[in-house]
Amino acid sequence: MEANKPSQGLYPLHRCKTIHLVRHAQGIHNVEGEKNHDAYLSEDLFDAHLTPLGWQQVENLRKHVKASGISNRIELVVVSPLLRTLQTAVGTFGGEGYRDGVDAPPLMTAGAGKSDRPAISSLNCPPFIAVESCREHLGVHPCDRRSNITKYRELFPAIDFSLIETDEDVLWKPEIREEDKDIAARGVKFMNWLSTRKEKVIAVVTHSGFLYHTLNSFGNDCVPDVKSEISSHFANCELRSVVLVDKCMNSSYPPVTNYPGKRPSGEDLPSDIADKK
């Protein structure tokens, strides 16, 4: 085998997770920013919500995850706490339409985030948890500044916001834009956090910049085509599935599929070795 040439590999199953990565659907900032990049500096785009086309993209992705069986296997949805990602997450992985009188809070209230959408049920779907560490580049662009968590809890009652420490957005700075290397480092820490979770199949709904810079930290031991599959830019509402391998042994959860087999009193050597003794 040639030195340093990528090869096939094996790793214990219980140290691997399937992660379904999703970039949010089209937001109003995407439309305005494509017309004029300076629009990203506009306060009119604060905590950008989805466009009507964005909601159609969500509907299409929802149909895909149901038809492919992905939605039945997901054990947890992790979502960036910005309006466009929250809308994309609940629209894609949430339950069906919400009905009054049901003894469970909705994932999203009717009309949340300047949408014309009906309420979305939290029944028959995985739990949702909001995490700050998978946010987009922090700072300067108002579209990347989040609303208060108090407001989000009103709009998305069944999403767990308990991991977010402050009601106001203290991470976003008006004059300092997070550097690429810093968002990449934040992304690697986020992936390490995912590896500590007990869930084996997780959906993550996040942002283009976060995905691009985080995923470019991985795949350097792969052939170029595979590296590109991992880390190329995401389109709006694109879903890309990867396997997260816990090489650092962050997780302490034992294997559930392994079976120890017979425990003999002797050495129980293979026959070709025993014959030589």
For the stretch 41-79, pLDDT in tens is 999 999 999 999 999 999 999 999 999 999 999 999 999
For the stretch 95-121, pLDDT in tens is 987 776 677 899 999 999 999 999 999
B/e letters for 198-209, b = 16+ CB within 10 Å, e = fewer, are ebbbbbbbbbbb
Q: Does residue 263 sit within a domain?
A: no
Q: Does residue 98 sit within a domain?
A: yes
Residue 59, classed as helix, strand or coil, is helix
For the stretch 8-34, pLDDT in tens is 778 889 889 999 999 999 999 999 999
Predicted local distance difference test score (pLDDT) of residue 274: 57
Predicted local distance difference test score (pLDDT) of residue 119: 94
**pLDDT mean across residues, the chain:** 92
Residue 239, classed as helix, strand or coil, is strand
Q: Does residue 271 sit within a domain?
A: no
Q: Which residues touch 26 (CB under 8 Å, ≥6 apart)?
A: 50, 51, 53, 54, 57, 236, 237
Q: Does residue 261 sit within a domain?
A: no
Dihedral-angle region of residue 38 (phi above 0 means left; psi in -120 to 50 means alpha; beta otherwise): alpha
- Rounded to whole angstroms, the Cα distance separating 231 from 226 reads 9
Residue 200 has pLDDT above 50, yes or no: yes
Catalytic residues: 24, 136
Reported confidence tier of residue 277, pLDDT bands at 50, 70, 90 = low
Q: Does residue 260 sit within a domain?
A: no
Task: With CA atoms as reference, report the closest residue to 26 among 49, 46, 60.
Answer: 49
Q: Does residue 270 sit within a domain?
A: no
Residues in a beta bridge with 240: 21
Residue 270 has pLDDT above 60, yes or no: yes
Q: Does residue 4 sit within a domain?
A: no
Q: State how many domains the chain has.
A: 1
**Which residue range is the domain that position 132 belongs to?**
13-245
Q: Does residue 276 sit within a domain?
A: no
Mean pLDDT along residues 172-176: 97
- Its pTM stands at 0.91
Q: What is the CATH number of the domain that holds 228?
A: 3.40.50.1240
Higher per-residue confidence, 262 vs 30: 30
Percent of the chain with pLDDT strictly greater than 70 = 90
- Rounded to whole angstroms, the Cα distance separating 86 from 147 reads 12
Residue 275 has pLDDT above 70, yes or no: no
Task: With CA atoms as reference, report the closest residue to 62 among 86, 95, 91.
Answer: 91
